[in-house]
Amino acid sequence: DAGITQSPRHKVTETGTPVTLRCHQTENHRYMYWYRQDPGHGLRLIHYSYGVKDTDKGEVSDGYSVSRSKTEDFLLTLESATSSQTSVYFCAISAKGYGYTFGSGTRLTVV
Amino acid sequence: EDQVTQSPEALRLQEGESSSLNCSYTVSGLRGLFWYRQDPGKGPEFLFTLYSAGEEKEKERLKATLTKKESFLHITAPKPEDSATYLCAVMTTDSWGKLQFGAGTQVVVTP
């Protein structure tokens, strides 16, 4: 996944703790996205960003917040992790708002 | 409400046995339809974008077509390396930059 890195790749955390996932890009793309992928649901948009400090909610944003203080970094925070947030999280980038490039994903388990 | 439905959920093919995957959509207005391939443990990889009914795109053994209600991904003479989950997604005219994904079709090609 040239140009886009997600960290960590795997994380196990306890219910009620805050968790931050990081997406880093080296492509200088304007648009960045966070999706979650669950069996039977496909990919669902959590939050997205169309520029530094410009973010908006997706269809499953409750319990999540994001920040983008630099073009290259887009952070996803689970304010108080719950078991329903156990999922695989993907970051994506796009130069023009379409033709996404996805990261390799972060597998998050909330116990 | 916009909807994207993929069928079948899973498909098992013999090597060389051609088949088609379906992506039906109900949206207010279509800006583009996207096909992705996803290998286990990896992020989706972009395949095609289709913008208008009647459009077709090809890449190796894959061919994507679009009508006003659905898209097909035809796999001709598949090989084991074509095994993957294939995802379709739509971008609507009132959701610039945001993709709505179907749940995917898992394809297994056996030698």
CB contact under 8 A, B97 and A103: no
Instruction: Give yes or no for residue A1 having a pLDDT over 70.
Output: no
- B41 interaction partners in chain A (CB closer than 8 Å): 104-105
For an interface test with B, give the residue of A43, A48, A55 to mutate (most B CBs within 10 A).
Answer: A43
Instruction: Give yes or no for residue B45 having a pLDDT over 90.
Output: yes
pLDDT in the model for residue A96: 79
Looking at chain A, the whole-number percentage of residues with pLDDT higher than 70 is 98
**pLDDT confidence band for B34 (50 / 70 / 90):** very high
Q: Alpha-carbon distance A38 to B104, whole Å?
A: 11
Q: Using one digit for the tens of pLDDT, what is the confidence trace for A42-77?
A: 899 999 999 999 999 999 999 999 999 999 999 999
Task: Find out whether B109 and B80 touch, Cβ atoms under 8 Å.
Answer: yes
- B34 interaction partners in chain A (CB closer than 8 Å): 98-100
pLDDT in the model for residue A2: 62
A vs B: CB pairs below 8 A: 56
Q: Alpha-carbon distance A8 to A88, whole Å?
A: 11
pLDDT in the model for residue B96: 81
Task: Find out whether B99 and B90 touch, Cβ atoms under 8 Å.
Answer: yes
> B5 Cβ partners below 8 Å, 6+ apart?
B23, B24, B25, B102, B103
Distances B87 to A7, B21, B25 between C-alpha atoms, Å: 24, 10, 13
CB contact under 8 A, A97 and B42: no
